[in-house]
Chain A
Amino acid sequence: MTKQRTDIRMTADQVQGPAIHVQGLEKSYKELRVLRGVDFDVARGSIFALLGSNGAGKTTVVKILSTLLKADAGTAGVNGFDVATRAADVRESISLTGQFAAVDEILTGRENLVLVARLRHLKNPGRIADDLLARFSLTDAGARKASTYSGGMRRRLDIAMSLIGDPPVIFLDEPTTGLDPQARIEVWQAVKELAARGTTVLLTTQYLDEAEHLADRIAILHEGRIIVNGTLAELKRLLPPAKVEYVEKQPTLEEVFLALVGDNGKNRNVGTNA
């Protein structure tokens, strides 16, 4: 099903080029070289997962793509607009759901949605808010302060806020980190529905099963570079040799892969491979 959807979007939009285009991206914080030449493309209407350990630079990539940070070198384009020279157009084209649910806790769920709709200069902010509350099963909680929400509800509200104005590209930075399994499934459901409507989604995650469930393509960011980029099937073929090779060189990568393989083990996918 995922494949079919991707194909439909591809034929419709291919002429416009990729939704996200990143080439030679570099970024340092003082002495620390976080990104050392990152390249990847994200096809329109697809879900692209950026995997990496903590501190691998996933959030830095997302911040550059959402115009919150300037890259030191390289180019990045979103929806055909360069993030450095056409920042305003990029911001019209995107929504960012940051690492921590960025909802206003003192406002109600509905007020949060109305606020974002107003800031995106849309007509009928009230109706937009009510529609999204219904779509994310938050209608009953709409009049409650967001501070009373559970983790899953906050994330759903957070994602709902990102959908206002139907931006063609959405960034989800570790959307399920810190969530319980139930809430994680709720978020996955929301992301799948998003992509089903043709939105391009770039999500970062530490969890392979998350990428496995959601993503059309997966890239692994490690030590400032994309070391693997492919479909799930391609990645699965790559993983065992990659594991052997990098376990010896990079102890931090070992932890990541052990965690990833551990999760896979539960699904009995890699049981025979490992």
Chain B
Amino acid sequence: MTKHFLGDTAVLLGRSLRHIMRSPDTIITTAIMPIAMMLMFVYVFGGAINTGSDSYVNYQLPGILLITVASGIAYTAYRLFMDMKGGIFERFQSMPTARSSVLWAHVLTSLIANVISLVVVVLVALLMGFRSGAGVPAWLAVAGILILFTLALTWIAVIPGLSAKTVEGASAFSYPLIFLPFLSSAFVPTDTMPGPLRAFAEHQPVTSIVNAIRHLFAQQPVGTDIWIALAWCVGILIVAYVFAMNTYRRKTA
């Protein structure tokens, strides 16, 4: 069984990618909401926000990228839910196919779809004046953090994808995740926030991830932020993975 794991995962990944190619609207809608937010923040609020940096496009892009991933994984849950509901998940599970391939194909598809959306958002940001002098290593580090963040959120998305009763339920979990960057350093410096909110903002995962990416783009020393960011991503990834696999085992027991 496990000897087919890679081959079966590749076959099922091909299937999911075909789904995405045939409904590219999922990638476009994933990218459109963050782009609309970016336009609003840069051109409507941006002028009035004093971040202490010279370019607000540069300042807010990391937060927008995280929102892109948070809205993108709603489709991960949606695709998994549709497979569960349609019975094709059970068909695959009753076949001599490596069982976890079905799940991994969805996870990899989520990764690929989100990377495409992220590239689209970065391209729009470039059109809007985003500039970074970051070299290849810094860009790779940004890519690495975003991939890790996507994987962590994808495994969170697997849980409602497997266990939701309705389509709405499958994707509703992503709303708080989309909202989280607003309570962080993503759009405004945290030092203007009232005490308790500030304490929350400075100690939630988004702030450290945003700061790490922002410093990498700005070629500034990343300090401890990057380690806190990585610890959050890996921690969320592990916890989400354990819960997702538990849900999966319960569903396929």
* Chain A residues packing against B (C-beta within 8 Å): 63, 66-70, 88, 91-92, 94-96, 98-107, 111, 115-116, 118-121, 161
Residue of chain B at shortest CB distance from A116: B95
Distance between Cα atoms of A101 and B90 in the complex (Å): 11
A102 to B7, CA, bound (A): 22
- The answer to whether the Cβ of B11 comes within 8 Å of any Cβ in the partner chain is yes
**CA gap between A106 and B1 in the complex, in Å:** 27
B91–A161 CB distance below 8 A:
yes
28 A-B contact pairs sorted by A residue (CB < 8 Å) = A63-B90, A66-B94, A67-B93, A68-B93, A70-B253, A91-B96, A91-B97, A95-B94, A98-B90, A98-B91, A99-B87, A100-B87, A101-B87, A102-B86, A102-B87, A102-B88, A102-B90, A104-B86, A104-B88, A106-B19, A106-B23, A107-B18, A111-B18, A119-B11, A119-B95, A120-B96, A121-B4, A121-B7
Give a binary string over B215-253; 1 marks a CB under 8 Å from any A CB, 0 the rest.
000000000000000000000000000000000000011
Contact of A105 among B11, B86, B95 (CB under 8 A): B86
Please tell me if the beta carbons of A107 and B15 are within 8 angstroms of each other in the complex: yes
The docked-state distance in angstroms from the alpha carbon of A102 to that of B89 is 8
Residues of B within 8 Å of A68, CB to CB, are 90, 93-94, 252
Kindly provide the distance from the CB of A215 to the nearest chain B CB, expressed in whole angstroms.
22
Q: Known contacts being A69-B253, A119-B11, A121-B7, is A100 close to B86, with CB within 8 Å?
A: yes
- A70 CA / B12 CA spacing, docked (Å): 25
- Known contacts A104-B86, A118-B11, A119-B92; 11 additional CB pairs below 8 A are A63-B90, A66-B90, A68-B94, A91-B94, A96-B90, A96-B91, A100-B86, A107-B18, A115-B15, A119-B8, A121-B96
Interface contact A120-B97, CB-CB below 8 Å:
yes
6 nearest A-B residue pairs (beta carbon): A102-B87, A96-B94, A98-B87, A66-B94, A102-B91, A119-B97
Tell me which residues across on chain A come within 8 A of B252, comparing CB atoms: 68
- Minimal beta-carbon separation of A169 from chain B (angstroms): 11
**B7 surroundings in chain A (CB, below 8 A):** 121
Chain B 3-18 interface 0/1 with A at a Cβ cutoff of 8 Å (1 = within): 0100110011001001
Chain B residues touching A, range: 20 to 34
Q: With A and B bound together, what is the CA distance between A121 and B6 in angstroms?
A: 12
Is A94's CB under 8 angstroms from B94's CB?
yes
Q: How far is the CA of A67 from the CA of B91 in the complex (A)?
A: 11
Report A6 CB to chain B, min CB distance, Å.
26
Q: Chain B nearest CB: distance from A35 CB in Å? A: 15
A111 to B88 Cα, complex, angstroms: 14
Q: What's the Cα separation between A52 and B18 when bound, in Å?
A: 39
Contacts of B91 in A (CB 8 A): 96, 98, 102, 116, 161
Q: Least Cβ distance of A230 to chain B in Å?
A: 28
Contacts of B95 in A (CB 8 A): 91, 95, 116, 119-120
CA of A51 to CA of B115, assembled, Å? 50
Q: Are A106 and B96 within 8 A (Cβ)?
A: no
- Residue among B4, B93, B253 with the most chain A CB within 10 A? B93
A207 CA / B253 CA spacing, docked (Å): 30
C-alpha gap A111/B15 in the complex (Å): 9
- Distance in Å from the Cβ of B137 to the closest Cβ of chain A? 39
Which residues on the B side are within 8 Å of A103 (C-beta)?
A: 88
Q: How far is the CB of A136 from chain B (nearest CB, A)?
A: 17
The answer to whether residues A67 and B94 also contact, given A100-B86, A121-B4 and a CB cut-off of 8 A, is yes
Q: In the complex, A70→B19 CA distance in Å?
A: 32
Q: For residue B92, which residues in chain A have a CB less than 8 angstroms away from its CB?
A: 119
- State the Cβ distance, B80 to closest chain A Cβ, in Å: 14
Residues of B within 8 A of A67 (CB): 93-94
* Residue in chain B with minimal CB distance to A93: B96
Contacts of A119 in B (CB 8 A): 8, 11-12, 92, 95, 97
By the criterion CB–CB under 8 Å, are A115 and B11 in contact? yes
Please indicate the chain B residues that have their CB under 8 angstroms from the CB of A101 in the complex.
87
What is the bound-complex CA distance between A100 and B86, given in angstroms? 7
A120 to B97, CA, bound (A): 7
